[in-house]
Structure 1
Amino acid sequence: MTGAPAAPVALSRSRGVLHALLDAPGRRNAVTPELLDALHAAVDTAEADPGCRVLVLSARGEHFCAGTDLTAPVPEPAAGPAAGPEAELPYWTLLDRLTRTPVVTVALVEGRATAGGAGLAAACDLVLAGPGARFRLTEALVGLVPAMALPFVARRTGEQRAFTATLLAEDLDAPAAVAAGLADLHAGEPAQALRRTLVALSRVDRSTAGALKTYRSRLFPRDARLGQDAGRVFLDRLTDPAVQPLLDRIPTPERAV
């Protein structure tokens, strides 16, 4: 008899902070429906606690997040009033939510953030990169377009820098990621850097942080249909017969991009 599979995200709390640890290192913390559900639940938990100011995303293992698990079923649009062929995909809704929640979101990246994993980090308000951090958009290598991750990367790096990093599948270490704007801080001691960051964030109350994030979204608005368009572009490429031979080249144990 086997037990239930371990949760892909482990939650813990400290004063004013909810820590969400991506905890599926055997799957390289890849983006699966279960991971997305667990991260949405983490945001729910943070938002429901009026004393929570910060949500920290970190990961166990060598990979912060390896991107979309291609062995999982093709993602379906999120349920709700907008559900249908033009609805947003769950990955997009999570990234968009991380940018809009009144809770400050911090990504502590100590391993590889690849493809959708780089997008997950980029959607956070602050990105701290440890000495082993690497950031890479690999989708173009297998015929895909990082349609959902790219807007969140580009808002940090600028349009051309994000395009170049995607087209060349650049593998950015922590200093290069900071130079590109994809990360905010390169720290030799990530735990200490996180503590200093949390101390600084403790001086800003949640309502102020929320108001600042709301104003940022109004100051730099996204097209209201971008989420739907991004999902359609991603799925069109994922299901294109011409792309399948490229996807089939990915070794089965590592089918995440």
Structure 2
Amino acid sequence: MSGPRAVVVSRGRDLLRVEMARPRQRNPIDDTLLTELAAALDEAEADPGCRVLVLGARGADFCSGTDLSGDRPVPGDGLAAGAELPYWRLLDRLTRSELVTVAVVDGRATAGGVGLAAACDLVVAGERASFRLTEMLVGLVPAMALPFVARRVGEQRAFAATLRAEEFDSEAARAAGLADLVGADAERVLRPLLAALGRTDRATTAALKRYRARLFPRDERLGHDASHLLLERFAAPGTRALLDRAQEAGAA
């Protein structure tokens, strides 16, 4: 794999910790990141002693979303009929994994980065955390992130936040439901959470998550439809110009 690694993986007691590690690039979502995150999740799930996967990031950005500065639309474009983009598959895995998935957000989560956090079972937010879906500003729709945000904050709240490209700081995120635990020091908040999660075995977590999926089922075609909608919006007349202007202004 060419270029620097997108993540750094470390092990702890009963857990695997994954940090997005390209702060100079604002931790973008691209093929490299998606491949390495999927591999880390594979590793954690293959270890019967692992109960928790912790997803964090280095630098001022948790994740800046998909890098749309080039001509190639999104990671994994060129879908076959019925297929889903890798980003959707990762979000779906985070919700369905028998592990407890915990996002530690202590920086800016933008666009697809919001979806990455929202797909995790629990979100810990530090004082530097912010959450903002910016896709509408550049002619796109957060088709894949929106279902995971909406399951946390509710349909209308997610819709309104998307329309307005609303930014949530850590306290507003907790009030809305985007974050579960908030503190000035995210690591200090994380430690007792991990201790509490260590008291529940993996099989029980898996059973709870399966039951939640049964209680609140998701349309099986949603990933396909979301993936194709994103590609359609990227190809729509005028979208490229909006993206280019946003890049020049530093707003994307």
Same fold (TM over 0.5): yes
Please say if 1:75 is aligned against 2:74.
Answer: yes
What is the correspondence of 1:22-33 to structure 2 with a 5 Å cutoff? 22-33=20-31
Taking the aligned partners of 1:164 and 1:155, their CA distance within structure 2 comes to: 14
SS of aligned partner of 1:183: coil
Residue 12 of structure 1 is matched in structure 2 by 10
Taking the aligned partners of 1:71 and 1:58, their CA distance within structure 2 comes to: 24
Taking the aligned partners of 2:133 and 2:122, their CA distance within structure 1 comes to: 19
Taking the aligned partners of 2:19 and 2:76, their CA distance within structure 1 comes to: 25
- Contact 2:30–2:75 under 8 Å retained in 1: no
- Contact 2:31–2:76 under 8 Å retained in 1: no
Please say if 1:63 is aligned against 2:65.
Answer: no
Residue 185 of structure 1 is matched in structure 2 by 181
Residue 102 of structure 2 is matched in structure 1 by 106
SS of aligned partner of 2:127: coil
RMSD, aligned CA? 1.8
What is the correspondence of 1:28-43 to structure 2 with a 5 Å cutoff? 28-43=26-41
TM-fit CA distance, 1:188: 1.3
TM-fit CA distance, 1:76: 5.9
Taking the aligned partners of 2:74 and 2:110, their CA distance within structure 1 comes to: 18
What is the correspondence of 1:137-152 to structure 2 with a 5 Å cutoff? 137-152=133-148
- Contact 1:78–1:88 under 8 Å retained in 2: no
Residue 246 of structure 1 is matched in structure 2 by 242
- Contact 1:77–1:87 under 8 Å retained in 2: no
- Contact 1:108–1:128 under 8 Å retained in 2: yes
TM-fit CA distance, 1:71: 3.2
**Cα separation, partners in 2 of 1:153 and 1:114, compared to 1, 3 Å:** same
Q: How many pairs were matched up?
A: 251
Pick the aligned partner of 1:125 from 118, 121, 128.
121
Taking the aligned partners of 1:221 and 1:251, their CA distance within structure 2 comes to: 38
- Contact 2:69–2:243 under 8 Å retained in 1: no
Taking the aligned partners of 2:214 and 2:182, their CA distance within structure 1 comes to: 29
Taking the aligned partners of 2:73 and 2:204, their CA distance within structure 1 comes to: 39
Taking the aligned partners of 1:54 and 1:249, their CA distance within structure 2 comes to: 41
**Cα separation, partners in 2 of 1:253 and 1:141, compared to 1, 3 Å:** closer
Taking the aligned partners of 2:76 and 2:80, their CA distance within structure 1 comes to: 7
Residue 50 of structure 1 is matched in structure 2 by 48
The residue identity in structure 1 corresponding to 2:166 is: E
Taking the aligned partners of 1:70 and 1:201, their CA distance within structure 2 comes to: 37
- Contact 1:77–1:84 under 8 Å retained in 2: no
For residues 228-252 of structure 1, what are the alpha-carbon distances to aligned partners after superposition, in whole Å with 9 as ceiling and x for unaligned? 0000111100111221211110226
TM-fit CA distance, 1:26: 1.2
**Cα separation, partners in 2 of 1:253 and 1:101, compared to 1, 3 Å:** farther
Q: Which runs of 5+ in 1 are unaligned?
A: none
Q: Which runs of 5+ in 2 are unaligned?
A: none
For residues 13-35 of structure 1, what are the alpha-carbon distances to aligned partners after superposition, in whole Å with 9 as ceiling and x for unaligned? 01001000000111100101100
Taking the aligned partners of 1:198 and 1:30, their CA distance within structure 2 comes to: 27
Taking the aligned partners of 1:253 and 1:49, their CA distance within structure 2 comes to: 45
